[in-house]
Amino acid sequence: MTDFGARFENEIARCCKSDESIINETLALNMKQRCQDFLYALLREVENRLPGNQQLFQGLSALHPSKVLSQMARFPFEHLPFRHLLEGEQDVLEEQYRKILMHVWADESVFDSKVPDDCTLFWTGVLKYENVVGDKPYKELAMYALACLFCPVSNAAVERVFSQVTCIKTKYRNKMSIEMLDAIVRIRTTLSLKSGCCVQFLVTDDMLQRFTSEMYNSVE
């Protein structure tokens, strides 16, 4: 049975009970049938406009921290998305996927006593996490998850990146290295996603220590 909404049903019932209305039960049923046919046609048109590879992105919800850290809601390892990214390190990733559930992430300093609800922030923190001996026990799993999340989902996203590249590397900046171009694109994209600006950007002590002449590659 199609749900047309309470307001629609109330109006139909009021018109059918009114003595002055020309709408009877037969006309009301006909109107509902036409509305239902319209909704079905609208649904088919929406499905036709969806990309053919949409199934590739349906499994991205498996990487959400609320599911990864839940014994009941987590996806089996074989149902994780973008299986081609698992090639070569599948055994390592599967072992890390099992262990990450048992880790008490709320106690780790990378999350400041609170596990973020955002996928990108969560996996970035997992990537930064180091145990007592300085190893990163979930590095491969975090890199896989971030690779899935950073995959462009539309042509528009790719076109925006190319537009930035065109604006940055102009005819007068043709000698700009790929590393410098990549850094500028990443900075612009990050500021855009976070709705930030270079004015509010806070420089860390680590950045200042790295700001030496060694950061520039010599041009022979």
Tell me whether residue 20 is in a domain.
yes
Do residues 110 and 75 both lie within one domain? yes
Note the pTM of the prediction, 2 decimals.
Answer: 0.53
Do residues 25 and 61 both lie within one domain? no
Do residues 21 and 68 both lie within one domain? no
pLDDT digits (tens, 9 = 90+) for 127-186: 999 998 989 999 999 999 999 888 766 666 677 888 888 888 888 888 888 888 888 888
pLDDT digits (tens, 9 = 90+) for 78-102: 888 888 888 888 999 999 999 999 9
Given a cut of 90, is residue 19 above it in pLDDT? Answer: no
Tell me whether residue 193 is in a domain.
yes
Do residues 72 and 113 both lie within one domain? yes
Tell me whether residue 220 is in a domain.
no
Alpha-carbon Rg for the chain in angstroms: 27
Mean pLDDT over the full length of the chain = 83
140: CB partners within 8 A, 6+ apart: 89, 92, 93, 96
Q: What angle do CA 63, 67, 72 make, to 5 degrees?
A: 145
Which pLDDT belongs to residue 44? 86
Tell me whether residue 12 is in a domain.
yes
Tell me whether residue 219 is in a domain.
no
Place of tokens 């109006």: 11
Tell me whether residue 63 is in a domain.
yes
C-beta of residue 15 within 8 angstroms of C-beta of residue 24: no
Question: Is residue 219 very low, low, confident or very high in pLDDT (cuts 50, 70, 90)?
Answer: very low
Tell me whether residue 105 is in a domain.
yes
Do residues 65 and 93 both lie within one domain? yes
Of 49, 65, 81, which residue sits at a domain end?
49
Do residues 78 and 112 both lie within one domain? yes
Q: What range defines the domain where residue 128 resides? A: 57-149
Find the helix or strand (DSSP H, E) in which 168 lies: helix 155-168
Q: What are phi and psi of 206, to 5 degrees?
A: -65, -40
Do residues 61 and 138 both lie within one domain? yes
Specify the 3-state DSSP secondary structure of 218.
coil
Do residues 141 and 84 both lie within one domain? yes
Joined tokens for residue 219: 């041009």
127: CB partners within 8 A, 6+ apart: 136, 138, 139, 142, 143, 146
Do residues 66 and 135 both lie within one domain? yes
- Give the Cα separation of 155 and 50 in Å (integer): 13
- Give the Cα separation of 78 and 83 in Å (integer): 8
Angle between helices 119-128 and 139-149 (to 10 degrees): 150
Do residues 61 and 113 both lie within one domain? yes
Which pLDDT belongs to residue 126? 93
Do residues 90 and 143 both lie within one domain? yes
What is the number of structural domains in the chain?
3
Tell me whether residue 206 is in a domain.
yes
C-beta of residue 78 within 8 angstroms of C-beta of residue 98: no
Joined tokens for residue 147: 């690779």
Do residues 110 and 132 both lie within one domain? yes
Give me the mean pLDDT over the 64-89 stretch.
Answer: 88
Instruction: Name the DSSP letter for residue 199.
Output: T
CA distances from residue 38 to 33, 43, 57, 148 in whole angstroms, order as listed:
9, 9, 29, 37
